[in-house]
Amino acid sequence: MIRTFRTNNIRKVTELSDSLWRFSPCDGEFAGRIYPVTVPCCWESLPDFSAYRGVGVFQKEFQAEGNIRLVFKGVSHTARICVDGREAGTHYNAYTPFAVELKNLEQGIHRLEVYADNRFSEESALHVPNDYMSYGGISRGVVLEELGDAYIEYLHAVPVKEEDGWYVLMSVKLHSLAERDLTCRLDVRLEEKGTVSEKLTLKAGEEKVIEKRLAAGDVEVWDMETARLYAVSAELFTEDSQQAPVDDLIERLGFRQIRTEGKDILLNGRKIRIKGFCRHEDHPMFGCALPFAAIEQDLQIAGDLGANAIRTSHYPNDELFLDLCDEQGILVWEENHARGLSLEQMENPNFERQAEECIREMITAHINHPSIIIWGILNECASDTEYGYECYKKQYELIRRMDTSRPRSSSSCKFKTDICFGLPEIVSYNLYPEWYHDTPAAEYVKDIYNWVQEESEGSGKPFLVTEIGAGAIYGYRTPALCKWSEEYQAQALEHQIKAVLEQEGCSGIFIWQFCDVRISAEWFANRPRTLNNKGIVDEYRRRKLSYDVVKRLYHSYSDYR
């Protein structure tokens, strides 16, 4: 399953998940042995490969002819794609989609080989040994698209509210696969609200972006209570096909406005109170390749706890997750891929290119999701250094060039030394009072908040606590209230949640974290079980004592301030 709705009526789209693939490790004692697997698949889910860090190849035959595109929603973490033995494309980063185009294929059976590499090296500036797991495999779906002379690469539809009603700013990217110029017509329709059209010529092999604006008038808004979605569909005609389009693409949008005003974050003009969780895409049975049902189960648990938001720590998430959040009115902070990179790690010559490419791919793929209300970058990176400041500045500016409709932020752990708060719209901190240090939560949150207001360029901006929490080993119970016990975590969260949600000027909280997750083996030292154990539920989604504390408190605060 790729999306929760049909994205094409004209283009023939087939997810390559209907039968087994063949997996083979390229290194190690099992090199060359063939294992039948379903895709999506992280090889850590296979008995022999739960700790395999290397290269593996996934093979599958497919039937096609003419022009096609193979779309990969996620390959972890470095991909090399071969078709019929020839390299067709490469990609870095497990968390963003990419595609390879193939033209004039002979009719018949073709062999697809996907090489995935999850090793750490200087080549990889973002996937590094860390407090989460860089899995190996084809972690999200693979789609075969059969194309004609031209196709629609993306359809962006951004709602804007003006004096006289709602409008949709549309941006449609077209690709020519023809050897000749094409006379085309593009129609973009927003349900019964209307259609805009553009006649154009696509030169041989040309890529072109068409910008259109459509008046939508009165609409049902998207918000946490009424997650009303509208279908927007693009159809491309060429002179040879005036009657029937050669290609189409269907997307969804929600009419909602998210903006900041003083210290408030406003959703459709109302001050929101974020009550969220930081959530890794991680599961003991599936690695980071969570199936649809497992994703929805996580959202059900978050909803039961009274959460209204999820932070995609620390990378862009699966579109299935975002589709579900769109449909259920769940707010999302989505961020590019980075966690805790030091100045030295940010100086890796691949860092800026890889981090900025992740932003471009994230926004290109996810700009339409109304659930995404904040774009985040560079979690706990070197925002206390001049070089770090330049990187943050460039990445915030890149986001603004691609999308003016959402506020930006970054989760800092640089406390009173952060020098980047003048750049984003929202100031965000990861704080661990009563865990990494024993300062009482209320005292610490107030101290940091007051420093921001009095000493930093973040003064007067919305203030979020994007991580706060404590560890607990599932099943470790003791009245001694010592750290790692469930009792201690419950007590700490009681203090922490109240401290944050009672802090004046604070717009909300993301608890660290939703569930226990696997981490890199190198991080074993202060991580019992080589897991990050700060989940409210354990890795199997079994409740800890803190579950009822969070549930009671989250339900006692409204979604609006």
Min separation Cβ 424 and ligand ADA, Å = 17
Min separation Cβ 549 and ligand ADA, Å = 18
Residue 18 vs 438, nearer CB to ligand ADA:
438
Told to check if 516 binds ligand ADA by CB under 6 A, we report: no
Min separation Cβ 413 and ligand ADA, Å = 6
Min separation Cβ 531 and ligand ADA, Å = 10
Residue 294 CB burial class (10 angstroms; 0-12, 13-18, ≥19): middle
CA-nearest of 253, 255, 231 to 160 is: 255
Told to check if 532 binds ligand ADA by CB under 6 A, we report: yes
Told to check if 534 binds ligand ADA by CB under 6 A, we report: yes
Q: For the beta carbon of residue 493, count every other beta carbon within 10 angstroms.
A: 27
Instruction: Pick the binder of ligand ADA from 248, 281, 298, 467 (CB under 6 A).
Output: 467
Q: For the beta carbon of residue 436, count every other beta carbon within 10 angstroms.
A: 12
| Binding letters toward ligand ADA, positions 401-430, x by CB under 6 A | ------------x----------------x
Q: For the beta carbon of residue 240, count every other beta carbon within 10 angstroms.
A: 12
Told to check if 369 binds ligand ADA by CB under 6 A, we report: no
Min separation Cβ 73 and ligand ADA, Å = 23
Which single residue brings its beta carbon nearest to ligand ADA? Answer: 131
Structure tokens of 432?
């661990």
Told to check if 317 binds ligand ADA by CB under 6 A, we report: no
Residue 151 vs 315, nearer CB to ligand ADA:
315
Residues 6 or more apart in contact with residue 397 via CB below 8 angstroms: none
Min separation Cβ 133 and ligand ADA, Å = 12
Scanning residues 112 to 151, which ones bind ligand ADA (CB under 6 A)? 131
Told to check if 380 binds ligand ADA by CB under 6 A, we report: yes
Structure tokens of 37?
């697997």
Told to check if 73 binds ligand ADA by CB under 6 A, we report: no
Residue 186 vs 473, nearer CB to ligand ADA:
473
Q: Do the bridges between strand 78-83 and strand 55-72 make them parallel or antiparallel, or are there none, so unpaired?
A: unpaired
DSSP labels, 193-227: GEEEEEEEEE-TT-EEEEEEEEEEES-PPB-SS-B
Q: How far apart are CA 305 and CA 297, in angstroms?
A: 12
CB 525 within 8 A of CB 270: no
Min separation Cβ 339 and ligand ADA, Å = 5
Residue 134 vs 379, nearer CB to ligand ADA:
379
Q: Do the bridges between strand 517-518 and strand 55-72 make them parallel or antiparallel, or are there none, so unpaired?
A: unpaired
CA-nearest of 522, 520, 518, 516 to 542 is: 516
Min separation Cβ 313 and ligand ADA, Å = 6
Told to check if 53 binds ligand ADA by CB under 6 A, we report: no
Instruction: Pick the binder of ligand ADA from 49, 115, 392, 512 (CB under 6 A).
Output: 512
Residue 131 vs 418, nearer CB to ligand ADA:
131
Told to check if 311 binds ligand ADA by CB under 6 A, we report: no
Min separation Cβ 512 and ligand ADA, Å = 5
CA-nearest of 220, 193, 154, 192 to 370 is: 220
Q: How far apart are CA 65 and CA 476, in angstroms?
A: 59
Residues 6 or more apart in contact with residue 293 via CB below 8 angstroms: none
CB 151 within 8 A of CB 544: no
Query: Residue numbers of the site for ligand ADA (CB under 6 A)?
Result: 131, 313-314, 339-340, 379-380, 413, 430, 467, 512, 532, 534
